[in-house]
Amino acid sequence: LRKTRAVGCYPKQVGDRLAYEALEDVAMSVHDALRGQTRVPFCAFNGNLDVWVDLGDKRYGIEALQKYLGISEEKCCHMGDRFTHTGNDQRARYVAMTVWVTNPVETEDYLELFLQEMGVE
């Protein structure tokens, strides 16, 4: 599948799954093939159900948000579920504190904990 700023690979039939190892292999192969071939930042990642290659990565997005909000890396926390070598959250580690979550409910729990610690209700 091609998008304006990404290309992806996913099962043809809804409900089908590609083996995790196959997705890892595709993501690593694409990453290795593109590394050093372009100056455009990219992220080749295994989304657990699919593989995507995006222009840019979360590091650039977080840096842009930090600049826009006028906050430092120390005041920023990124929550994500794919911090592995082939995950799309891995590069966030370079520009923000990170929390590895497994699902949206866990994300909500951490947000509530952070707000409580900050004295916000």
Which residues, 6+ apart, have CB-to-CB distance to 107 below 8 Å? 79, 101
Domain-by-domain residue ranges, the chain? Answer: 1-56, 71-121
Mean pLDDT of the chain: 88
pTM: 0.72
pLDDT digits (tens, 9 = 90+) for 98-119: 999 999 999 999 999 999 998 9
Q: Look up tokens 């593109």; give the residue.
A: 34
Q: How far is CA 60 from the centre of its chain?
A: 11
- The maximal CA–CA distance of the chain, rounded, in angstroms, is 49
pLDDT tens digits, 3-30? 777 788 888 888 888 898 999 899 899 9
Residue 1 has pLDDT above 70, yes or no: no
